[in-house]
Chain A
Amino acid sequence: MSELNTLTISEARDRLRSGEITATELTEACLKAVEDAGALNAFVHHTPEIAMEQAKAAEARLQGSEEAPAMCGVPIGIKDLFCTKGVPSQAASAILNGFKPEYESTVSQNLFDAGAIMLGKLNMDEFAMGSSNETSTYGNAVNPWRRGNDDAALTPGGSSGGSASAVAADLCLAATGTDTGGSIRQPAAFTGITGIKPTYGRCSRWGIVAFASSLDQAGPMTKSVRDAAIMLETMCGHDPKDSTSADLPVPNFEAMLTGDIKGKTIGIPKEYRMDGMPDEIEALWQSGTEMLRDAGAEIRDISLKHTKYALPAYYVLAPAEASSNLARYDGVRYGHRAQLAQGDGITEMYEKTRAEGFGAEVKRRVMIGTYVLSAGFYDAYYNRARKVRALIKKDFDDVFAEGVDAILTPATPSAAFGLGEMADVDPVAMYLNDVFTVTVNLAGLPGISVPAGVDAQGLPLGLQLIGRPWEEGDLLNTAYTLETAAGFLAKPSKWW
């Protein structure tokens, strides 16, 4: 029998329920895998005591019960962006050094209520701002995948890079992620796993450190589409503590995985065919299109004509919201406070605390946000970007109104790149990583990244499916069909 930590959620659920394995055995296998994987720097805070306690409780609950929730006894990792009671929750920032929340985020609470087990907190880009995990105060996580026999360290993507690395390396069965511009889907694509960002409002944002509140959504990062369906259902649900949380019933997503997409219409947006896109990505997209056609879907060429303006709009709106949200890190209520010199007043305390606590990318974005919101520029930048955002959403509304059920695109413009490779380019080059994913956040839609192939160097590549609002079930079913057809089974060989 293979190691227990390599199980999927659905396999573990079935074996836990039948009593073939125990939650304690499963948790111990994962804790061991985590311990051996220091080189990946995926887990940045370890919680083995909590894990073993939760495993015992899950075991009692599973005892002879076929009715225990699907997540009961399943060991997972939690992105450091989620506040977890009594456990460091730093958003990978030095400004939250030592912060231990007195409360639990709604999403992690939902998972724990269902019996899930927390192995620890996962690395990420600082405040979820980054696409390579290199902005983390903990140092970057590392991708378990390598280019053939080349031992150069690759990025797991970002911002949910620790989550992606941990799931791809079988340190946990699944992990939570969050996605503001592509932070679940890009790292999932870079590491050969599945990641879904649900419709804005599906998951409560309460207790998740805020980056850009109108764009942030939590979602699961898993080893299969089925697992994504199971875990997403547990994470979702109305929460009175988040006024943007949707008061809608959460369907049984797993039950909607029929593998039948006959008669569905899949849109292929011509604007996603970017200049200079690698042939491999183009070929992957083409073969994904054929797979869905072979499964009985109608393929339709569509146009989303404002696509090109999504990234520029995002780089107004996300920094604007971040500059407001991050104003709370002032050295007064939690986290780091700078040592002050004789005569320093409160303004110096703010300025020094924020200069010491924030990393370069976070400072850059906070200041850009401050600039676009400042007097004289508010209309030219911020209001204009909000209008462009409305047009981007309308592009999607129009194609859905014309009968398109889902849209197929590449997930990323390249495979995982080397850590440090982007150090000398200007910040905008890094932002282009999100070119295919960011439209989905701006339009508030559900989007899923599914591993669909490997490049010439053996690195995983992902395809993205975008669905109608609130129709995650249908989207997951299309993704499941694509997953089945693509038959992506490759795993990174263990070097860590």
Chain B
Amino acid sequence: MSIDTQTAARVAKLARIEVDDADLPVLAEEFNAILGFIEQLGEVDIDGVEPMTSVTPMRLKRRDDEVSDGDQQSKVLKNAPDAREGFFAVPKVVE
């Protein structure tokens, strides 16, 4: 499996990271080095093995379904790069 610049560009797009076209060949090369390393996993016999979902055999605890917190609008917005009138503000979205 080899990654070309087109695939690298597609992955960058999926990851929402802008990458200059000029940087794509190097990126593709790095991906190939890492994926080449990962390819070794193909040697392992995984027949009948369940994929791990939890490393410790514990059920996730459930909490009571009740309100335990709230009324923290100003704290929630405090670190926002752009907050207006009690909301997070983003560039106009037109679909």
Contacts and interface: CB of A to CB of B under 8 A. Distances in A.
A75 interface: no
Contact of B46 (A332, A387, A428, A444): A387
Contact of B51 (A350, A351, A386): A386
Contact of A351 (B3, B17, B79, B94): B17
B2 interface: no
Contact of A200 (B56, B63, B80, B92): B56
A352 B18 contact: yes
A340 interface: yes
A337 B86 CA distance: 18
B30 to A, nearest CB: 6
Nearest to A247: B61
A237 to B, nearest CB: 14
B15 A201 contact: no
Interface in B66-88: 72, 75-76, 78-82, 88
B13 to A, nearest CB: 8
Binding site secondary structure of chain B: loop
Interface in A330-345: 330-337, 340, 344-345
B90 A370 contact: no
Given A102-B78, A334-B80, A390-B49, A201 B56 contact: yes
A367 B19 CA distance: 11
Contacts of B39: 312
A367 B79 contact: no
B22 interface: no
B41 A383 contact: no
A310 to B, nearest CB: 10
Contact of B14 (A340, A374, A389, A391): A374
How many B residues touch the partner, as a band? 35 or more
Given A200-B55, A387-B52, A316 B38 contact: yes
Contacts of A243: 60-61
B17 A469 contact: no
Interface stretch (A6-14, A45-53, A358-366, A452-460): A358-366
Interface string A293-320: 0000000000000101101110110000
B79 A100 contact: yes
A367 B81 contact: no
Nearest to B61: A243
Interface string A235-260: 00000100110110000000000000
Contacts of B11: 367, 370-371, 374
Nearest to B79: A334
B34 A349 contact: no
B11 to A, nearest CB: 5
Contacts of A337: 81-82
B30 A351 contact: no
B28 to A, nearest CB: 10
B37 A428 contact: yes
A285 B44 CA distance: 28
Contacts of B91: 340, 344-346, 348-349
Contact of B55 (A348, A355, A388, A444): A444
Contacts of A101: 79
Given A201-B56, A383-B51, A444-B55, A315 B37 contact: yes
Interface string B13-53: 11111110000000100110111011111111010011111
Interface in A59-94: none
Nearest to A99: B79
21 contacts: A98-B79, A99-B79, A102-B79, A199-B56, A214-B55, A309-B40, A311-B37, A312-B41, A316-B38, A316-B41, A337-B82, A345-B91, A346-B91, A349-B91, A368-B35, A374-B11, A381-B38, A391-B44, A427-B33, A442-B55, A443-B55
Given A345-B91, A428-B33, 6 more contacts: A200-B56, A244-B60, A337-B81, A387-B44, A444-B56, A469-B56
Interface of A: 98-102, 199-201, 214, 240, 243-244, 246-247, 306, 308-309, 311-313, 315-316, 323, 327, 330-337, 340, 344-352, 354-355, 358, 363-364, 366-368, 370-372, 374, 381, 383-391, 393, 426-428, 431, 442-444, 469
